[in-house]
Amino acid sequence: METVLETRNLRKVFSAGSREQVLAVDDVSFTVGVGEKVAIIGESGSGKTTVAKLVTRLLAVTSGQIFLDGVDITNARGNTLKQAYRKMQMVFQSPIDSFDPRCTLGDGIAESLRNHGATKAEAQAETARLLTLCGLRADFANCYPHEVSGGQCQRAAIARALAIAPQLLILDEATSALDVTVQAEIMALLNRLQQELSMSYLFICHDIALVQDFCDRVLVMKDGRIVEEGTAEAIIRHPQIEYTQMLIDSVL
């Protein structure tokens, strides 16, 4: 299988002021294949979000390497990083924080399109198409983030992440705050995009049932390290270590 993302020996040490140093991510190596859906599960504080932020370059690595579509982006800046964001997008847990409160949802989505070369008219048309694709009426483009529900805002955030048709979408508890019907619709949309565009996903989620339904492979994190990995089926039905069994038991 062709690889879209590869991390090699990622390590992140936080040294927050007077606090002790925290080894948040330790020797994390994994790949995500083209069209593959990979989950990261693990207890709170195990380093999942930090991995997502290292991969998306929102945080700098302490050591290790990140390859996106074969390009080393570990220390990419400027144009190279901009190119990387054409291939990779991230959706966070809290949708309202990911939009500028002073701009409409449509402006937020169109900005992303215009940054990647679309004209104003093209961006407007594409924004309408994306909102519809994500199950929102096109006129939601005129709403401000505080004027819509959490689920609607999260759909708009996903529409924005999809605006540039990334090869890799990283979702950090992106559907956790949504009610089950909206969540199911969004998962169906993500599945469709995976089939139609061979999109790949790195899916951070504590909902084991969702992971089982949606993902091909699972990475299990504990104390910053990957302690077990395998197909979703194998991990959930036959976990090899007690910690994984505990994670599964604690949510089912």
Minimum separation from the CB atom of position 124 to ligand ATP (A): 36
Q: How many DSSP H helices and E strands does the chain contain?
A: 9, 10
Name residues contacting Mg ion, limited to 5-64 (CB under 5 A). Answer: 49
Minimum separation from the CB atom of position 16 to ligand ATP (A): 4
The residue to which tokens 């705050």 are assigned: 177
129 to 8, 109, 132, 196, 227: CA distances (angstroms): 38, 11, 5, 16, 42
Q: Is 223 helix (H, G, I), strand (E, B) or coil?
A: coil
Q: Got the DSSP string for 18-58?
A: TSPEEEEEEEEEEEEETT-EEEEEE-TTSSHHHHHHHHTTS
Nearer residue to ligand ATP within complex by CB, 23 or 34: 23
Binding to ligand ATP by residue 155, rule CB under 6 A?
A: no
Nearer residue to Mg ion within complex by CB, 128 or 204: 204
Both structure tokens of 77:
């800046």
Can you tell me the distance from the alpha carbon of 214 to that of 203, in angstroms, rounded to the nearest whole number?
A: 9
Length of the chain: 252
Name residues contacting Mg ion, limited to 105-164 (CB under 5 A). Answer: none
Name residues contacting ligand ATP, limited to 4-43 (CB under 6 A). Answer: 14, 16, 22, 24, 42
Minimum separation from the CB atom of position 153 to ligand ATP (A): 20
Both structure tokens of 161:
């992440």
Both structure tokens of 29:
């190596």
**The binder of ligand ATP chosen from 26, 38, 50, 205 (CB under 6 A):** 50
**The binder of ligand ATP chosen from 4, 41, 47, 156 (CB under 6 A):** 47
Minimum separation from the CB atom of position 206 to ligand ATP (A): 7
Binding to ligand ATP by residue 64, rule CB under 6 A?
A: no
**The binder of ligand ATP chosen from 18, 44, 79, 181 (CB under 6 A):** 44
Can you tell me the distance from the alpha carbon of 64 to that of 195, in angstroms, rounded to the nearest whole number?
A: 32
Nearer residue to Mg ion within complex by CB, 49 or 89: 49
Site string for ligand ATP, 205-244 (x = CB under 6 A): ----------------------------------------
Using an 8 Å Cβ cutoff, are 218 and 208 in contact? no
